[in-house]
Amino acid sequence: MSPSRNTVAEDALPPSPIYPMPLVRLDLVVFRVEGAQLQVLLAKREQAPFKGRLGLPGGVLRIDLDGSLEAGAQRVARERLGTGLPQVRQVLAVGGAKRDPRAPWAMTVVYRAVLSQELPVQPGKRVQELVWVDAHEASQNKKLAFDHDMLIDQAIAGLRGEVQALQFDPGFMPEEFTIPELQARCEVVLGTPLNKVTFRRRVEEAGILQEVPGKMVGGAHRPAKVWRLEWSLG
């Protein structure tokens, strides 16, 4: 009996072609609010390309080490910053030709972290120095490595959109805070003052806060209630 048409077709298939793979990077946009300034953490590069330039902490995806993109982002954080991040969230992916001089086609997956508490970072592998800088100035700095000014600009825009919608990363605020403290931090991110009455009404109607029972802060005349975030971005 002659072999079926399907069997003949499968046997006649040529070997699977080898597809060229892009260079995949994992870059970290780490924000914090310091006083009245939104800051981003930058790393001074120790090696080419862009040796000596500031850029986002990042590294190449390692399929032998990284079980997932998020695991890779945390590995990169440990290697470049000397510590993992409390929580990271994928916010952006870009790719194209001529983005990285080491490869004909490269893509970057960007992970964001928003810190409300001090993180003990220290320069790690391939990093000469770590510096906190004004995030808005960094987003316009064409001297940063690769296209990191554009990545920071897009990360700021995304964070602003979420804050405007009252959607907060888990690390956006400390575990306990007052509504005026939340408003002040939102104003720094948005770059504009917010109406106190309107803001309070919006957060109360949004149902995102949980009151800490019996806890008040401030003076004896007008103490403020203490709250926790009841939910966070997934």
| Reported confidence tier of residue 216, pLDDT bands at 50, 70, 90 | confident
Q: Find out whether the peptide bond into 49 is cis, omega within 30 degrees of 0.
A: yes
Residue 15 located in a structural domain: no
* Percentage above 70 pLDDT, the chain: 89
Helices 179-190 + 196-206 axis angle, to 10: 110
Residue 192 sits in the same domain as residue 130: no
Range of the domain at 50: 23-163
Residue 8 pLDDT exceeds 70: no
- Please tell me the distance from the alpha carbon of residue 211 to that of residue 225, in angstroms, as a whole number: 7
Give the domain CATH number at 157: 3.90.79.10
Give the domain CATH number at 225: 1.10.10.10
Beta strands in the chain (DSSP E): 23-34, 37-45, 54-55, 58-60, 89-97, 105-115, 127-134, 209-217, 224-229
- pLDDT at site 222: 78
Residue 158 sits in the same domain as residue 200: no
Contacts of 200 (CB under 8 A, 6+ apart): 179, 183
Tell me phi and psi for residue 228, to 5 degrees: -125, 155
- pLDDT at site 159: 97
User: How confident is the model over 63-93, as pLDDT tens digits?
Assistant: 999 999 999 999 999 999 999 998 899 999 9
- pLDDT at site 99: 87
Asked if residues 28 and 113 have their Cβ atoms less than 8 Å apart, the reply is yes
Average pLDDT, the chain: 90
Residue 57 sits in the same domain as residue 113: yes
* Percentage above 90 pLDDT, the chain: 77
Q: What is the mean predicted confidence (pLDDT) over 38-56?
A: 96
* Final residue of a structural domain among 133, 163, 193: 163
| Reported confidence tier of residue 205, pLDDT bands at 50, 70, 90 | very high
Residue 43 located in a structural domain: yes
- pLDDT at site 170: 83
- pLDDT at site 220: 61
